[in-house]
Amino acid sequence: MVKIVTVDSSVIISTFLPSEKRHEEACSLWNKVLSGEILAVMPYSVLVEVVSAIRRRTGSELFAHETQRMLEGLSSVSFVILDGRSAAKACQIATKTGLRGMDALVVQVAREYKAELITFDLEMQQKAAM
């Protein structure tokens, strides 16, 4: 059985930016996603966060566009659309844990799909366990 994970934007961004301190760790994990060894399911908010962070940190619109196309084209990655039911569940998570909105969406998807949450955000990791 293939392992399913929800990857936070902090990890994906680190794969694209060698200057990030956990770049090698992120690449190791992301290579497993790229190879199809593990499957990733994430809310579309992760795509937006990654693309916007790449644009802000590199200054390159082209790199941001290429990142978006690459992520959307991966067969081992599924992006989930936010609907009323999932938004309500994310609100419950945010209310209970105090997580930021986008983080609550990521945690909600991980829970809904029974996926392992992969993040470099310590606060998110701790509060997701609540």
Strands (E), the chain: 3-7, 38-43, 77-80, 116-118
pLDDT at residue 55 greater than cutoff 90: yes
pLDDT at residue 6 greater than cutoff 90: yes
User: Alpha-carbon distance 7 to 106, whole Å?
Assistant: 8
pLDDT at residue 2 greater than cutoff 90: no
Q: What is the pTM of this model?
A: 0.94
DSSP SS3 for 6: strand
Q: Where are the domains of the chain?
A: 3-125
CATH label, 3-125, candidates 1.20.120.1770, 2.40.50.140, 1.20.120.330, 3.40.50.1010: 3.40.50.1010
> pLDDT at position 125, please?
94
pLDDT at residue 130 greater than cutoff 90: no
pLDDT digits (tens, 9 = 90+) for 71-119: 999 999 999 999 999 999 999 999 999 999 999 999 999 999 999 999 9
pLDDT digits (tens, 9 = 90+) for 7-49: 999 999 999 999 999 999 999 999 999 999 999 999 999 999 9
119 touches 11 (CB < 8 A): yes
Order the strands of the 116-118 sheet from edge to edge. Answer: 77-80, 38-43, 3-7, 116-118
114 touches 5 (CB < 8 A): no
